Amino acid sequence: MLQKGDKAPDFKLFATPDRQFSLSELKGKNVILAFYPADWSPVCSDQMVLYNEMLKYFDKYNATILGISVDSKWCHLAFSDSRKLHFPLLADFEPKGEVSKLYGVYDEQQGESNRALFVIDKEGYVAWSYLSQVSVNPGADGILDALESITPKN
């Protein structure tokens, strides 16, 4: 798993059936990557809904959040619509788990992403990372603490 100080690998994944999204598009912003096992699971649903509710707090730190799992772009679209999410869910679908593997959070045995969080600073380096148990919603406190630590004080 990538650690603080590691360069965050760029990637390009589908955010919708007709739009791809790359990490490099967000250079100059703080980025939160929320890897999760699967759309529709109870813990994943709770986690993504929580982050949706936290968007205004992330925005205060000039941060964008991206959810990433191995589900397809069509599955993400239905899941996002049903949960009324206002941030992109990216499909690490084909080749399966390629981005999860780049970040060191792919579970080969289960064939899905582990539940992991990364805060990437404006320069594209990992400022904080956290691996959670699959059955536990990691919440947002660690994300907010990491964003606070990399945001200049006025």
75 is a catalytic site residue: no
- Please state the pTM of the whole predicted model: 0.97
Torsion of CA 84, 68, 46, 7, to 10 degrees: -120
Q: Does domain 29-150 have CATH number 3.40.30.10?
A: yes
- Identified catalytic residue from 31, 43, 44, 66: 44
Are 32 and 63 within 8 A, CB to CB? yes
Q: Where are the domains of the chain?
A: 29-150
The 126-131 sheet, strands edge to edge: 19-22, 12-16, 89-91, 63-69, 30-35, 116-120, 126-131
pLDDT, tens digit only, all 154 positions of the chain:
999 999 999 999 999 999 999 999 999 999 999 999 999 999 999 999 999 999 999 999 999 999 999 999 999 999 999 999 999 999 999 999 999 999 999 999 999 999 999 999 999 999 999 999 999 999 999 999 999 999 887 6
